[in-house]
Amino acid sequence: MKRRDKNKGYILGILFISIVFIDNCSPLPTVQPNNSQINVNETNSESGGLNQLNTEALQHMMDGQLYLDQGDFAMAIVELQEAQRLEPNVSSIYISLAECYWNLKKPQRSMEILDTAVEIDPENITLREMMAEQLFRLQDFPKSEKQYQILLDLNPGSEDYLFALGDLAKIQKKYKRAIEYYRNVYEIDNNNIQALELTVDLAHGLGMFGEANELYQKLLKTDSLNVKYLGAYADIMVQMNKPEEAVDLVKKIIKIEGSSIESLIQLGILYNELGKEDNSIEIFQEILQQDSTNAVGLHFLSTLYRENNEYVKAQSYADKMIIVFPENPQGFINSALIAFEQDDSKQAISILSPAAADFPEEYSVQYLLGMSYNVDKNYKMAAVYLDNARQIAPNSRNTLHLLAIVNDNLNNWHISDGIYQQLIETDSTDAQAFNNYAYSLIEREKKIKLSKKYSRRAIELAPHQAAYLDTYGWILFKMGNTKEAHKYIKKSLEIDNENTEVLMHMGDILIKMKKYTEAIEFYHKALSLDPENQKLIDKVSDF
């Protein structure tokens, strides 16, 4: 694991003899001639309580370290094992042995030696750091984390260990814990910008926008012209629904580094979100002046002009995108949407049919083609492409809703019922699913009580939805409660009096109430809205 403070770190390389036993012994006294032992005052009781240091062991240790430095790990092990035999409780010997086995690509043996050493000297910092590092390299992150936590307990407030623990938490996707560690580093040292950057990046990624907002303000105080900070902070402002502030930040970026394509795109999108379509169009036109085939610019100009009902201009940008980027489905999608918004479902179908073959995995193409066939009342083809869309995005509720309606129209009720049940089971607040399922059931005169229950639930969820009031009124009518039915259908028409189906229902209720003159008025109004409706034609012809 990379260290961040060049003045800190543990020794994994050369262990100079002057500090070999520093963790186990007091400084070595002067060597007395003709003595086979060097007497020492042992200060570390957990290293074995040695009162004497064997000079022979020291010589083997020195020779082993020399071999280790030269890369002759096998000979180093021979010498170090002999030193260990003579002094079995000196943890520094174990550290050097473990390093030898690690270099010989025997990590398991290295770890076994370190485990033994930590029993001898549990508070040895160098030893624990080596264990933590090796466990990290072996990707045993939980055990590595445990060692760094022990090191932090031994050295409270250590930035190095807090950093290491933050990195390990992040690797294990314990992001909130990682934030705590990195933030602790910054609280210890307000000049540690890297810790602050890591904290804010994680907070941003986790959607903790309030905290990220606070942290980016601190970063910008340290470097107000940092384009990276400004760009990320602009995104935070967007996420916090503050597009005006985001615009100011992007403008500042442009002032610092000039009008790059990337910053202009961001500015154009922000203007669009603010409802400043003219500014947005101006920005994207500037982008195309710099890069005439910029895909984002072509897409947004086509979209913006379509939303302004300037279909000729919108189509020109969609066509250019198709020509320049035939491998990108967005041009075909934009072109189809232009046709669709002009109520030309056949044109949308002609655009999307070849695209559906070229982009079989593109959800929008499959869904829009299915929707276009549905508008064209070609329900069989609609079912095919909507089912393709469902295979791509199984949880898309828009697709499921439309697919249920299409199968209902095809009398494939075993399919439509299953979809409605799925929609209701996965979202008990889906008023549209409750309403549509209730209407399907009552039209088939199946499960009437369940139909009424579901319709009532839809009204509870959306009490001012005209279609839902109509469904409930129609169910009451089918159940013989004409008076109450009239009440709900009337409420529906007060909200929307141009729905053919509701107008026809009111006509049927008035016929039941023997108010024939009023009924025929509703039938005629409905027929004026849908002159090819055969049911209405038949009803009117009866009078």
Reported confidence tier of residue 12, pLDDT bands at 50, 70, 90: very low
Q: What is the mean pLDDT of residues 498-513?
A: 93
DSSP 43-92: --GGGT--SEEEHHHHHHHHHHHHHHHHT-HHHHHHHHHHHHHH-TT-HH
State the pLDDT at residue 101: 96
Domains, the chain, in order of start with CATH, read: 1-138 (1.25.40.10)
Backbone angles phi, psi at 135, to 5 degrees: -65, -35
Among the residue ranges 28-37, 63-72, 155-164, the one predicted with the least confidence is: 28-37
Asked whether the beta carbons of 254 and 235 are under 8 A apart, the reply is: no
- Asked if the model's pLDDT at residue 4 lies above 80, the reply is no
With helix as H, strand as E and coil as C, how does 141-159 read? Answer: HHHHHHHHHHHHHHCCCCH
Distance (Å, whole) CA 130 – CA 67: 20
Distance (Å, whole) CA 105 – CA 110: 9
State the pLDDT at residue 53: 55
* Kind and range of the H or E run holding 164: helix 159-171
- Give the torsion through C-alpha atoms of 362, 390, 465, 471, to 10 deg: 140
Q: What is the mean pLDDT of residues 51-74?
A: 87
Distance (Å, whole) CA 210 – CA 249: 17
Looking at every residue in the chain, the average pLDDT score rounds to 88
pLDDT tens digit sequence for 424-446:
999 999 999 999 999 999 999 88
Backbone angles phi, psi at 54, to 5 degrees: -70, 120
pLDDT tens digit sequence for 384-435:
999 999 999 999 999 999 999 999 999 999 999 999 999 999 999 999 999 9
Q: Bridge partners of 395?
A: none
Asked whether the beta carbons of 309 and 340 are under 8 A apart, the reply is: no
Residue 31, SS3? coil
State the pLDDT at residue 437: 97
Distance (Å, whole) CA 186 – CA 500: 66
State the pLDDT at residue 311: 96
pTM of the shown model: 0.67
Q: What is the mean pLDDT of residues 254-264?
A: 89
- Asked if the model's pLDDT at residue 39 lies above 90, the reply is no
528 vs 38: which has the higher pLDDT? 528
pLDDT tens digit sequence for 330-378:
999 999 999 999 999 999 999 999 999 999 999 999 999 999 999 999 9
Q: Which DSSP state fits 514?
A: T
